[in-house]
Amino acid sequence: MEQDFSTCDIAKHPLMRDTAILPTPAVELFVNVVRTWLELLLPGGIIWGNFRTGKTQAIRYFLSNSHELLGMRIPTYFLSAWDTDGQAVSENRFYSEMLSVLGYGLTYKGTGLIKRRRAIDFVVDEVRRMKEHRALLFVDEAQWLNQRMYRFLMDFHNQLKKADVRLVVILVGQPEILETREEMRGLRKGHIIGRFMTATHQFRGAQLADLERMALAMDQVSEFPVGSGCSYTEFFLPRAYRAGWRLEENMPRIWQILKSTCSEGGLSEISELPMQGVSAMLRALMREFRQLDCCTFALPEDVVRDVISTVALQQFHDHAVQVAPRA
Partner 1 sequence: MRSHVLNAAFDEPQKSGRFINRPERWFRASESLWSVVHKWAFLNHLSWAEIRELVAPIASRAKSGSQSPWAWGEHEVLLLASHLNLLTREFEFSTLDKFLFPPRQYRNWRAWYAEELRFCPECIRTGFHSALHQLLYLTKCPWHGVHLLDRCVHGNSVDSRFGCQQLVKPYSCVDGVPLWDGLHDPEWPCVAASARDAVPEQLSAWVQNISAQQPSRNIFAVRLNRRDGVAKESIADNFADSCDWRSFEPEIVNFLTRLVEGPEWLGSSRGGYSTGEITSAALTIDRVELNRIEAPRWPFRIPEIDSVPYEWEAYRSEVPTTDRYWTDLRYRCLRTRRSVVDSFAGILERHRGSCPAQWSATGVVPGGVCHLQYAVTNCRILFGVDQRRLGGDDSDSREDWRCLRPAIARTLDAQLERLLVWLGVPWQVLQVASTECARLVAWLVDQATAALVRNVLERLLFDSVNAQCKFSESRSGVTRGGAVPRVPLMEQDSFVGFTPDRWASPFAVTANPSQGEVNFHAYFGIPLRRWTQLADDSELCRETGMSPVTPAIVRDVLRRLDIQDARHGHHEHGALS
Residue in 301, 207, 234, 202 with CA at minimum distance from that of residue 261: 301
Give the closest residue to 171 by CA, choosing from 148, 204, 205, 201: 201
Residue 14 engages partner 1 in binding (rule: CB under 8 A): yes
Number of neighbours of residue 15 by Cβ within 10 angstroms: 20
User: What is the SS3 assignment for 49?
Assistant: strand
Which residue of 71, 229, 244, 325 would you call a contact of partner 1, by CB under 8 A? 229
Q: How far apart are CA 10 and CA 269, in angstroms?
A: 35
Using CB under 8 A as the binding rule, whether residue 242 contacts partner 1 is answered as no
Q: How far is the CB of 142 from partner 1 (least distance, A)?
A: 21
Is the bond preceding residue 225 a cis peptide, omega within 30 degrees?
yes
- Selected range binding partner 1 among 98-106, 135-143, 246-254, 267-275, rule: CB under 8 A: 98-106
Q: Does 95 bind partner 1 (CB under 8 A)?
A: no
Output DSSP code: residue 273. Answer: B
Q: Return the SS3 of 213.
A: helix
Pick 74 or 262: Cβ nearer partner 1: 74
| Residue 57 contacts partner 1 per CB under 8 A | yes
Determine, following the binding rule CB under 8 A, whether residue 315 of this chain makes contact with partner 1: no
Using only C-alpha atoms, what is the Rg of the chain? 23
Q: Rule CB under 8 A: say whether 227 interacts with partner 1.
A: yes
Give dist(CA 249, CA 242) in Å, integer.
15
Please report how close the Cβ of residue 253 comes to partner 1 at its closest, in angstroms: 23
Using CB under 8 A, pick the residue from 40, 72, 114, 243 that binds partner 1: 114
| List 6, 41, 90, 103, residue binding partner 1 (CB under 8 A) | 103
Taking each helix axis as running N to C, give the angle between helix 25-40 and helix 208-216, from 0 to 180 degrees, rounded to the nearest 10. 90
216 forms part of the interface with partner 1 (CB under 8 A): no
The answer to whether 36 touches 22, Cβ cutoff 8 Å, is no
Site for partner 1 contains 201 (CB under 8 A): no
What is the contact surface with partner 1 in residues (CB under 8 A)? Answer: 14, 17, 19-23, 57, 60-61, 63-65, 103-107, 109-110, 114, 117-118, 121-122, 125, 128-129, 163, 217-218, 220-224, 226-227, 229, 231-232
